Structure 1
């Protein structure tokens, strides 16, 4: 199997709106290349977009464990936990992402949304 070609195919599936198809192509690549953060991130995004939230969480936690300074992984992990109704856990990761990348509007919006759920006024 040509891993690079499969990754490119998976990217096309993802961009064409077929995240589940992309995930099927990416899963064996992650097994073959477990330290490849780009492949793992795309797999996590594909799981997130196809509502396979437990699987997305697993991939995102692996990314955060490997690189705690990965603000995007923290953000998507926070969003994944939010979608699972785990607001307090989500808040931790959204705060980290927003602190690392304060000028990112999506990060600030997600943080504000979850904070309002955890601490309603």
Structure 2
């Protein structure tokens, strides 16, 4: 298997609006190249965009474990946890991302989660309801 060509095909598939198809293509590449951060990041995004939140979380936590200064991985992990209704777990990652890099998307996500927590009496997840 030509991993570079497969990665290019998976990237095209993802960018064409088929994150599920891209994830299927990326899984064997990550298995063959487990330390390739770019492939793992694209797989995490494909999982996120296809609502496979557990898969996205696993890939993002691996990226952060290997590089704690990866602001983008912290942001996407925060968004993944937010989407799963796990606000208390999302906040630290969103705060870190916003502190590491000024970016409108990072600040918007952080404000949104902080506002949700504030409006819900400190409850930090849907499970608390």
TM range (shorter): over 0.9
Following superposition of structure 1 onto structure 2, how do residues 63-102 of structure 1 map, counting pairs within 5 Å?
63-101=63-101
- Where in structure 1 do 4 or more consecutive aligned residues deviate above 6 Å? none
Give the C-alpha shift of residue 113 in structure 1: 0.1
Normalised TM-score (structure 2): 0.91
CA distance in 2, matches of 1:72, 1:39: 14
RMSD value, Cα:
0.8
1:85-119 deviation line (CA, Å, top 9, x unaligned)? 00010001000000000x20000000000001112
TM-score by length of 1: 0.97
Match of 1:109 in 2: 108
Distance 1:90 1:2 in 2: 37
Map of 2:57 onto structure 1: 57
Match in the other structure for 1:12: 12
**Aligned-partner Cα distance in 1 for 2:105–2:33:** 30
Highest Rg: 1 or 2? Answer: 2
Q: Secondary structure at the match of 1:85?
A: coil
Query: How many Å separate the matches in 1 of 2:13 and 2:49?
Result: 12
C-alpha distance in 2, partners of 1:15/1:42? 10
Matching of residues 24-43 of structure 1 within 5 Å: 24-43=24-43
Q: What's the CA shift string for 1:37-69, capped at 9, x where partnerless?
A: 000000000000000000000000000000000
Partner of 2:127: none
Aligned length: 120
Q: Structure 2 CA distance, aligned partners of 1:34 and 1:114? A: 32
